[in-house]
Amino acid sequence: MIRIMYNGLGGQVGNAIQTALRKNDTFLGLGLSINEADLMEPESMRTLFIKHKPQYFIHAAAYTAVDKAEEDRAVCHQINVKATETIAELCLQYDCRLIYLSSDYVYHSIEGKPISEEDSNTPKGYYAQTKWEGELAIQGILTDYYIFRTSWVYDPFGHNFVNSMLRLGATRDRLNIVDDQKGAPTYAPDIAQAILQVVQQNAFENKDAYGVYNLTNQGVTDWADYARCIFELEGVNCSVKGISTETYAAPAPRPKWSVLDGTKLKETFQIQLPHWEESLKRCLNARKNRSKIPEGV
């Protein structure tokens, strides 16, 4: 059995990892919530590494409040940078491979073509900066790591765009939604499944190919069209008016082009996530069934 420890248990990706692990008896998973492993005090995880001897650690917890991070810098830095550094050091000391969830926000300068892992990084905004610094910390400490850059993450139950739209659409007949940011909504159970496939290939086929990978659902949309699609699939009678990023005026900057190229992951591990619309339908079904076991790819 492969021993996997992971954090962010109460979050979208962490919850999806828990669900995927339960269905796969080649893994022995130990999920950590903030109560077992608070990233404000990451050194406290040492005892967990000593006791459970994980072979893989999936670092899915993070400070994810993108706008609040602009004000709450010290806490965001501690969680996203310092704690990531400590986890990387623990992985080095206890011979554990690290898997880190990063963000499309670390690019933020390329437009008009799918962004590859080799393209330049110019993170804008404090959250984006800390995700990038988290990546650099790992790369400075470890060689055996996978960094997965994903985007627009959602699941049936978390705080995300899908659930916000369905909540707002139930009481409003018109919404103004940004239509000049392009990207791919990515379903947390698809992320979890892909990560476990990589771990499986690493553990059983001796495939290392460590490094940085884009990991998003296929296809491209913008937030306004995404909202229209959610309403259409759910039969919600709410019209969507497209507005610009500047009009919406969120505190933290957002990339206008977050279309990530998944070729490296496909060619290296033969993994390609489904089209975002297909996964959205699975999410909406799981939401309707109130199932806590959404299916990944």
Ligand X SMILES: NC(=O)c1ccc[n+]([C@@H]2O[C@H](COP(=O)([O-])OP(=O)(O)OC[C@H]3O[C@@H](n4cnc5c(N)ncnc54)[C@H](OP(=O)(O)O)[C@@H]3O)[C@@H](O)[C@H]2O)c1
Residue owning tokens 């602009």: 70
Query: Applying CB under 6 A, which of residues 30, 45, 58, 62 lies at the interface with ligand X?
Result: 62
Residue with nearest beta carbon to ligand X: 11
Residue owning tokens 């033969």: 270
Residues in 104-123 that interact with ligand X by CB under 6 A: 104
The one catalytic residue among 6, 56, 127, 146: 127
Query: Applying CB under 6 A, which of residues 2, 4, 5, 13 lies at the interface with ligand X?
Result: 13
Instruction: Please classify residue 93 by burial: count the beta carbons closer than 10 Å to its beta carbon, then call 0-12 exposed, 13-18 middle and 19+ buried.
Output: exposed
Q: Enter the tokens of residue 231.
A: 């309403």
User: Does residue number 17 form part of the binding site for ligand X (CB under 6 A)?
Assistant: no
User: Does residue number 125 form part of the binding site for ligand X (CB under 6 A)?
Assistant: no
Stretch that binds ligand X, among 4-12, 163-171, 233-241, 255-263 (CB under 6 A): 4-12
Using DSSP's 3-state secondary structure scheme, residue 169 falls into helix
Task: Yes or no: say if 139 and 286 are a contact pair by the CB < 8 Å rule.
Answer: no
Supply the minimum distance, in Å, between the C-beta of residue 231 and ligand X.
20
* Beta carbons within 8 Å of 232's beta carbon, 6+ residues apart: none
Stretch that binds ligand X, among 12-20, 117-125, 226-234, 258-266 (CB under 6 A): 12-20
Stretch that binds ligand X, among 59-67, 242-250, 251-259, 276-284 (CB under 6 A): 59-67
Task: Yes or no: say if 101 and 150 are a contact pair by the CB < 8 Å rule.
Answer: yes
Query: Applying CB under 6 A, which of residues 4, 5, 60, 141 lies at the interface with ligand X?
Result: 60
Task: Yes or no: say if 153 and 162 are a contact pair by the CB < 8 Å rule.
Answer: no
Stretch that binds ligand X, among 85-93, 111-119, 146-154, 197-205 (CB under 6 A): 146-154
Query: Applying CB under 6 A, which of residues 158, 219, 242, 253 lies at the interface with ligand X?
Result: 158
Instruction: Please classify residue 170 by burial: count the beta carbons closer than 10 Å to its beta carbon, then call 0-12 exposed, 13-18 middle and 19+ buried.
Output: exposed
Supply the minimum distance, in Å, between the C-beta of residue 8 and ligand X.
4
Strand locations in the chain (E): 2-7, 27-32, 56-59, 97-103, 145-150, 153-154, 174-178, 182-183, 186-187, 211-214, 221-222, 239-243, 257-258
User: Does residue number 79 form part of the binding site for ligand X (CB under 6 A)?
Assistant: yes
User: Does residue number 81 form part of the binding site for ligand X (CB under 6 A)?
Assistant: no
| 1 vs 74, beta carbon nearer ligand X | 74
Please name the helix (run of DSSP H) or strand (run of DSSP E) that holds residue 91, with its range, or none: helix 83-93
User: Does residue number 279 form part of the binding site for ligand X (CB under 6 A)?
Assistant: no
127 is catalytic: yes
Neighbours of 242 (CB within 10 A): 16
| Residue ranges that bind ligand X, judged by CB under 6 A | 7-8, 10-14, 34, 37-40, 60-64, 79, 101, 103-104, 131, 150-153, 158
Active site amino acids: 127
